[in-house]
């Protein structure tokens, strides 16, 4: 028998600190796979962010810099402008990209910076213990919305991807989820397409990935993976939100 699947080369041999059933490590693995398959390991410079994934550089075996909370898009901009040969990606959560980092995200997208934004949306602030995120659903209980998110006080969940799609500098945005084998495979394709978009010099691309957070959602793993389908995709529909790359597929 031959080996058909194993731990990718650019995923450091280290056990993940993430909770059981968390989506972060799945996306880390997909990134490592895509980087290997595209042969771009020697060009990649990643920017990680504050949040559960602040230690992403402990797992991804590529040059990485940790940006201040929310500033990933600006740091990535500086990197790409100073060293255009690099393949620059950001790895950000919902608070990092769409709360504190909203301005940096929108303007990097508007300038059409040739970077790839990997956006992990788990509708909550995980690392700090489960507070409301911009993408928290209506009525969802978090530690700062203990009575459920109230539209009158906290507004609606923020659809940053749909907002960014309005900008001409943005050429590709897709929303996927990592709560099923099919979803994970689609996510990998989307990540690959985002990197290809950058390699083709076309503009800003973003992959929004709905990801489970069993511990802060106060659910078991299986329930949390199902909750994404039951509740999240109604508010954050999966699929291509914008694609002006002209590429049918990354392959």
Partner 1 sequence: MDGNSAVGEAAIRAGCQCYFGYPITPQNELTEYMATHLSRRKGCSFIQAESEISAINMVFGASAVGARSMTSSSSPGMSLKQEGISYLASCELPAVIVNMSRGGPGLGTISAAQSDYFQSTRGGGHGDYRTIVLAPSSVQELADLTHRAFDLADKYRIPVIILGDGMLGQMQEPVDFRHEAPAELPVRSDALRGARGRPSKIVRTCTSNTSEMEELNWSLYRRYQLIEKKETAFETFLVDDAELIVVAFGIAARIAKGAIKSARANGLKVGLARPITLWPFPSGRIKELAATAKCLLVFEMNMGQMLEDVQLALQGQGEVFFYGRPGGVIPTPSEVLRVISRHYYQRGLKKGK
Partner 2 sequence: MAGRIEIDQEVCKGCEMCITFCTKKSICLSGSLNAAGYIPVVFSDGGECNGCAVCAVVCPEAAIEVYRD
List Cβ neighbours of 217 (8 Å cut-off, separation of 6 or more): 124, 224, 227
CB of 42 to partner 2, least distance (A): 22
Which of 8-16, 65-73, 137-145, 167-175 is the region at the interface with partner 2 (rule: CB under 8 A)? 8-16
| 126 touches partner 2 (CB under 8 A) | no
Question: Among 210, 124, 208, 121, which Cα is nearest to 170's?
Answer: 208
Q: What Å distances lie between residue 227 and 123, 183, 231, CA to CA? A: 11, 14, 6
Which one, 120 or 177, has the nearer CB to partner 1? 120
CB of 36 to partner 2, least distance (A): 13
| 7 touches partner 2 (CB under 8 A) | yes
| 16 touches partner 2 (CB under 8 A) | yes
Which one, 71 or 192, has the nearer CB to partner 1? 71
Which of 2-10, 81-89, 112-120, 243-251 is the region at the interface with partner 2 (rule: CB under 8 A)? 2-10
Output Rg (C-alpha) for the chain, integer angstroms: 17
Which one, 181 or 239, has the nearer CB to partner 2? 181
Which of 106-114, 159-167, 206-214, 217-225 is the region at the interface with partner 1 (rule: CB under 8 A)? 106-114
The terminus-to-terminus CA distance of the chain in angstroms comes to: 27
Which listed residue (27, 74, 123, 160) binds partner 1 by CB under 8 A? 74
- Decide: 11 and 59 in contact? Cβ < 8 Å: yes
Which one, 188 or 242, has the nearer CB to partner 2? 188
In degrees, rounded to 5, the angle at the alpha carbon of residue 72 between the alpha carbons of residues 69 and 78 is 130
For 54, the 3-state DSSP assignment is: helix
Which listed residue (18, 21, 32, 61) binds partner 1 by CB under 8 A? 61
DSSP 56: G
Q: Which residue has the tokens 């990649």?
A: 44
- Decide: 10 and 37 in contact? Cβ < 8 Å: no
- The binder of 3, among partner 2, partner 1, none, by C-beta within 5 to 8 A per type, is partner 2
Write out the residues near partner 2 by the rule CB under 8 A: 1-8, 11, 15-16, 18-26, 29, 180-181, 184-185, 221-222, 225
């Amino acid at each position: 028998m031959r080996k058909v699947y194993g731990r990718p080369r650019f995923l450091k041999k280290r056990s993940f600190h993430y909770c059981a059933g968390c989506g972060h490590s799945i996306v880390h693995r997909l990134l490592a796979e895509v980087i290997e398959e595209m042969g771009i390991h020697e060009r990649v410079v990643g920017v990680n962010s504050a949040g559960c994934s602040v230690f992403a550089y402990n797992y991804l075996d590529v040059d990485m810099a940790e940006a201040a909370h929310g500033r990933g898009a600006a740091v990535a901009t500086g990197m790409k402008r100073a060293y255009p040969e690099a393949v620059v990606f950001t790895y950000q959560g919902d608070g990092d990209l769409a709360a504190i980092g909203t301005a940096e995200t929108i303007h990097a997208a508007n300038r059409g910076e040739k970077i790839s934004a990997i956006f992990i949306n788990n509708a909550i602030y995980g690392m700090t213990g489960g507070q409301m995120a911009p993408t928290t659903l209506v009525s969802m209980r978090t530690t700062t919305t203990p009575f459920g998110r109230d539209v009158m006080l906290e507004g609606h969940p923020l659809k940053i991807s749909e907002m960014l799609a309005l900008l001409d500098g943005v050429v590709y945005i897709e929303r996927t989820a990592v709560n099923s084998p099919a979803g994970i495979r689609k996510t990998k394709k989307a990540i690959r397409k985002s990197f290809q978009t950058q390699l083709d010099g076309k503009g800003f691309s973003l992959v929004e990935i709905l990801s489970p957070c069993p511990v802060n959602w106060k659910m078991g793993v299986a329930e949390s993976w199902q909750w994404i389908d039951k509740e999240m995709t109604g508010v954050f529909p999966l699929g291509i939100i914008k694609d002006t790359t002209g590429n049918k597929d990354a392959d």
